[in-house]
Amino acid sequence: MQTFIQIIEKIKKIKGITLDYEVADLLNISKKAFAADKKRDSLPFEELSAFCRTENISINWLLYNEGPMTIGKEYPQSLADPPRFSVAEIPPGFE
DSSP-derived secondary structure letter, 57: B
- Report d(CA 67, CA 74) in Å as an integer: 16
Cβ neighbours, 10 Å, residue 52: 19
The answer, yes or no, to whether residue 48 has pLDDT greater than 60, is: yes
- Report d(CA 9, CA 67) in Å as an integer: 18
Q: Per residue in 16-32, is it b (16+ CB within 10 Å) or e — as a string?
A: eeeeeeebbebbebeee
pLDDT at residue 79 in the model? 46
pTM above 0.75, yes or no: no
The answer, yes or no, to whether residue 28 has pLDDT greater than 90, is: yes
Question: Which range has the worst mean pLDDT, 34-43, 48-57, 64-73?
Answer: 64-73
Question: Percent of the chain at pLDDT above 70?
Answer: 75
